[in-house]
Chain A
Amino acid sequence: MSAETPYRLELIGISKSYARDGKPFQVLDNVSIRVREGEFVTLLGPSGSGKSTLFRLTGGVELPDAGEVRIGGKPATGERGLIGYMPQQASLFPWMTVAGNIAAALEIAGVPRREALASAKEWLARIGLDAVAGEHPGVLSGGMQQRVSFLRALLMPRDVMCLDEPFAALDALTRTEMQQWLLRQWEERRRSVLFVTHSIEEALTLSDRIYVLSAAPARVLREIAVPFERPRRADVWMDPQFAELKRDILGLLRRGDSDAV
């Protein structure tokens, strides 16, 4: 990732408040985040710090009070349909087949139906899920549903993928397995990713860069460049630097205060 690589997603000086009991409640306080082309960037922050809110602003579902969203170098504040999105719950449509779910999302993004279905089937086969392409999502396990949901986000012809705690609902074992799977899939395709998680290990295992957010109102406490090489080893967590970084971030979140100001 060189300094010349263009930014795919820029959130510049974003602030946002909600009304709570009639009083304004500030969720985001001047947050700036940038994702370069082909970069895997993670937002790490305590629960309720406004990470999902930041995604809703990126997706154009809500408007910031201050600040600007830029996608692919163009102003995109409040504009919908510019990102691929993988929500916390798999959110597959029960009345469509697995392939149909992916194809429907692609169609909404403007891909012709035939092409969408063909590409859904081809990619399902590539990740070893061709056997369930014609099934309804209800028969899939939680982990399989998440793979489908990821593929759906990956195939969207969009500049940026936003993944909101995609593995939070999975058990620990499946979660580790899914992280490794995601890592392999992503390293093959190198899309620009903005990823949200609570888990420090998950952030260090997957990302190029990490933004550590404070509790609400969220500010960026620190920006960390993850030093481990790509393709990333499955056992990076054994690296002494991994433990050191983890301790740093933990301390940062505990103090809940910026040392970088």
Chain B
Amino acid sequence: MANKPAWRRAWPPAAALLLFLALWQAACAAFRIDPWTLPSPYDIALQMGEDAPLIGYHLAGTLGLAMSGVGLGLAAGVILAVALHLLPAVRSVVSPFVVASQNVPLIALGPLLMIWFGFGLTPKLILLTLVGFFPVAWSLLAGLGRAEPQLREYLAMIGASKWETLRRLEFPASLPYLFSGLKITVTYSVTTACVAEWLGASRGIGYYLVLKFKGFQIDAVFGAVICIVTLCLGLYGLAAWLERIAIYWRRAGKAGERG
């Protein structure tokens, strides 16, 4: 399965997508659907082609913001997970607050941050960090505690310190967990960046989206959505690719399991 060439794995979803677009196009023509209600894929493509330079400019802005958010979220998530792992007493105190922080709606948090920190970059980065750290921190924290007991026992027997155990065993063993958190953070970051731009910005695909909505350019709105989804998929793919590189030993076969 995993050894099939990329194009053989890619064609079934690609064919499904094409079929979906064809049906959409046909439905728009057959039922004469008003383009202000639901534009046809062809209309959307035309509009995107026309607006390409502008979309490119805004997309680059969103990408930059989202990547800064991923960087900050990843750093905050790793630091928090390691700290809570090494200090279990703090963990039980802090955990409820961390979980609660994830339940504050973005549409409340965003405007509040704007009030506190103005309209610059700061509130946006704070928003992105708040959204981005959680998946990384929580899956990494789970992973750090789940390293193989045999290897843990071995390190204890030879007198490894807490730090050595973290460095040599727990951290490498929890990389798969870190990456599943990162993949979620990456996609959240793009949508959060759009929300932040929607709240107040002069650049970014979120800003573009609001502008087109206000101008009733529904085909452009669809175009923006397509760009956002594509950006999410692209960043997700990048994270998956990094994961394969970072966890190189998975490809070398299953080690440590044989006697």
Contact = CB atoms under 8 A, between A and B. Distances in A.
A87 B158 CA distance: 11
B255 to A, nearest CB: 3
B252 A136 contact: yes
B252 A61 contact: no
B259 A81 contact: no
B249 A94 contact: yes
Contact of A90 (B155, B157, B169, B259): B259
Contacts of B155: 108
Interface string A19-31: 0000000000000
Interface in B144-192: 150-151, 153-160, 164, 168-169, 172
Interface residues of B, number: 23
Contact of A138 (B164, B169, B249): B249
A176 interface: no
B159 A136 contact: no
B157 A83 contact: yes
B255 A136 contact: yes
Contacts of A84: 158
A81 B158 contact: yes
A142 B249 CA distance: 17
A142 B253 CA distance: 13
Given A94-B256, A170-B259, A87 B172 contact: no
Nearest to B175: A95
A89 B255 CA distance: 11
Nearest to A162: B157
B214 interface: no
Interface in B114-172: 150-151, 153-160, 164, 168-169, 172
Nearest to A55: B157
A61 to B, nearest CB: 5
- The interface residues of chain A, by DSSP majority, are classed as loop
A90 B153 CA distance: 12
Interface string A56-89: 1001110000000000000000001111110111
A169 B259 contact: yes
A108 B253 contact: no
B4 interface: no
A156 interface: yes
B169 A93 contact: yes
A77 B143 CA distance: 32
Interface in B15-52: none
A87 B252 contact: no
Contacts of A12: none
Contacts of B159: 59-60, 80-82, 108-109
A139 interface: yes
Nearest to A59: B157
Given A59-B157, A89-B256, 9 more contacts: A81-B158, A84-B158, A91-B150, A91-B153, A108-B155, A108-B168, A138-B249, A138-B255, A168-B259
11 contacts: A59-B156, A60-B159, A81-B158, A87-B150, A87-B154, A93-B255, A94-B249, A108-B159, A135-B252, A138-B249, A142-B259
Interface of A: 55-56, 59-61, 80-85, 87-95, 104-105, 108-109, 135-139, 141-142, 145-146, 156, 162, 168-170
